[in-house]
Amino acid sequence: MTRLVLSGLAMGLLALPSLAQSTNAPPTTIACGTSAGEFHIKTKPGLHPAQAEAGKALVYFIEKDEDTLIAPTTRVGLDGAWVGGTRGDSYFFFSVAPGVHHLCAMTNAETVLAHFTAKEGEVYYFLVKNIVINRGTWTSSNDVTFGPLDSDEGQMLVDRDEYATTKVH
């Protein structure tokens, strides 16, 4: 019995370095993953009702742009893999398993991150907002905000905006 306990303890100690390495990865790698190909995004008007897959949660990702002349493309990553993208005032959705998840929104200007804990059957809304700040003649800067939305506001934006589909080349 003692030998079994000692061998279990030894195996656990051997696993610690690999666990430490996985948590030492940069947050952008954990959420976004490695660089992706070129994103081709199409948007179309109309409602696209969604339901989560059985045993999963549903996540809506919404992009809103203010004072932008050209709508930026926003790539969206989840747990180290790209799941889609948006352009302009648009949205898309995807299902996730219950548990902790790391989101990434990468625009032309910057990368922003968030995490959340999904529960089976729940619906989550996340908003990335791109704002161009005019700094005078011929100069401007971008401000990007990202975070969860109240479900009422999220549903209102989904009802108004276009649905985005993504192909990665």
CATH number at residue 131: 2.60.40.10
The conformational region for residue 79 under phi > 0 = left, psi -120 to 50 = alpha, else beta, is left
Whole-prediction pTM: 0.79
Q: Is residue 7 part of a domain?
A: no
Mean pLDDT value across residues 78-87? 92
**How confident is the model over 140-153, as pLDDT tens digits?**
567 788 999 999 99
Report the domain count for the chain: 1
DSSP 69-92: SSPPEEEEEETTEEEEEEESSEEE
Q: Write the pLDDT tens digit of every residue in 97-114.
A: 999 999 999 887 688 999
Would you say residue 56 has pLDDT above 90? yes
Please tell me the predicted confidence (pLDDT) of residue 136.
60
Report if residue 5 sits inside a domain.
no
Cα 141 from Cα 134, distance rounded (Å) = 7
**Mean pLDDT in residue range 75-81:** 93
In the predicted model, what is the mean pLDDT of the chain?
Answer: 81
CA 47 – CA 67 distance, rounded (Å): 25
Angle at 142 between CA 136 and CA 148, to 5 degrees: 145
In a domain, residue 10? The reply is no
